[in-house]
A and B are shown apart, each in its own frame.
Chain A
Amino acid sequence: MTDKHQEDLMHIRSMMERSSRFISLSGLSGVFAGLSALAGGTYVYIRLKNLGVDYLTSENAYYEKELVLEFFLVALAVLFFAITFGIYFTFQKSKKNNHPIWTSTTKNLLINLTIPLFVGFVFCLSLLMHHLFVFIAPATLLFYGLALINAEKYTFSDIKYLGYLELLLGMASLFFLGKGLLFWIIGFGVLHILYGIILFKKYK
């Protein structure tokens, strides 16, 4: 009899969680997003070095239009790969666990992620327009961190810790303008990979 009650309680807990949180997020998505960011960041770093531009000092930061456009495209490519891998691994995981993927939880998660990210995107576009390039890396870290914390209620709540770390990095990088690329690579590359591995191990 008590076994049945115990099972009842487990059933209740699982239903509450499954219906209110998106739990098909795969750790592998994080790892591959991190790898894409590492690749993109390294490419930009090498490109600047070959051009003789010292990214690490904010002075003398004059960039030609073509170069800005190129880096913008690199950023879009990184975003594209990160999202594609993210969707792919998430689909895989939800299929494996036989969980429906397009539920109101999924929509809530996406909306809550998208709002801060979209504002951040517009903000960065304005920075580009005003040639305030040194602020772009800190801004992406800050808005991304806020987006993660905002979406925490709708998926594994551990993503808020990733959010806090991104915010710390973003704030720190504001005081080291010119070293933004370094912070960006740590925040989007290294942290994603580490976090992805932790998530993967924990919820396998």
Chain B
Amino acid sequence: MSIIDKLNKDFESRVRLGIMSILLVNDWVDFTEMKSLLAVTDGNLASHSAGLEKMNYIEVKKEFVGKKPKTSYRVTNTGRVAFKEHLDFLEKLIKSK
């Protein structure tokens, strides 16, 4: 198995990388802020975050602030470990070049 196969396919998309990077250095981040940091559309962010939630990499919290629904995200321990591993592989790949 080559090292490339070890790269986590779940983090292939730029949006997913972005979500994980932001959550790694922050606590809860809400939908609007995530959207403006990543500069993506609502649908794009929703589908990628749903994907990450399904893998149990992030935790999603839905609540009401007044009458407005508010969605926030936080990284899980599984997600933190998986993303760290992904970063290590990326670094190794670049160094071995």
Q: Chain A contacts of B41 at CB under 8 A?
A: none
Task: Assess whether A19 is in contact with B94, with CB atoms less than 8 Å apart.
Answer: no
Interface contact B18-A20, CB-CB below 8 Å = no
Q: Is the interface of A mostly helix, strand, loop or mixed?
A: helix
The number of residues on chain A lying at the interface, defined by a beta carbon within 8 Å of a beta carbon of chain B, is 17
Contact with A along B36-57 (1 / 0, CB 8 A): 1110000000000000000000
Partner of B21, one of A5, A6, A19: A19
| Alpha-carbon separation in the docked complex, A103 to B14 (Å) | 22
B90 touches A9 (CB 8 A): yes
**Sample of 22 A–B contacts (CB below 8 Å):** A1-B4, A2-B93, A5-B90, A5-B93, A8-B14, A9-B87, A9-B94, A11-B14, A11-B17, A12-B87, A15-B17, A15-B18, A15-B37, A16-B21, A18-B37, A19-B25, A19-B29, A19-B37, A100-B33, A104-B26, A104-B29, A104-B33
| Interface contact B26-A19, CB-CB below 8 Å | yes
Distance from A35 Cβ to chain B, minimum over Cβ atoms (Å) = 33
Q: Is B82 among interface residues, defined by CB-CB distance under 8 A?
A: no
By Cβ-Cβ distance, the 7 closest A-B pairs, closest first, are A15-B21, A19-B22, A20-B25, A12-B21, A100-B36, A16-B25, A16-B21
Alpha-carbon distance between A29 and B59 when the two chains are bound, in angstroms? 39
Q: Is the CB of B26 within 8 A of A12?
A: no
Q: Mark A37-69, 1 if CB is under 8 A from B, else 0.
A: 000000000000000000000000000000000
CB-defined contacts of A104 to chain B, threshold 8 Å: 26, 29, 33
Q: B24 within 8 Å of A by Cβ? A: yes
The answer to whether B33 touches A103, judged by C-beta atoms less than 8 angstroms apart, is yes
B91 at interface by CB-CB < 8 Å:
yes
Known contacts A12-B87, A16-B21, A19-B26; A2 and B14 CB within 8 A of each other: no
CA distance A1 to B12 in the complex (A): 12
B62 interface contact, C-beta 8 A? no
**Chain A residues within 8 Å of B14, by CB:** 8, 11
Which residues of chain B are within 8 angstroms of A9 by Cβ–Cβ distance?
A: 87, 90-91, 94
Chain A 1-38 interface 0/1 with B at a Cβ cutoff of 8 Å (1 = within) = 11001101101110110111000000000000000000
B82 to chain A, nearest CB (A): 14
Chain A residues with Cβ under 8 A from B87's Cβ? 9, 12
- Whether B37 pairs with A12 at a CB distance below 8 angstroms is no
User: Within B80-97, which residues are at the interface with A (CB < 8 Å)?
Assistant: 87, 90-91, 93-94, 97
A2 touches B25 (CB 8 A): no
Contact partners of A103 in chain B: CB under 8 A = 33, 36-37
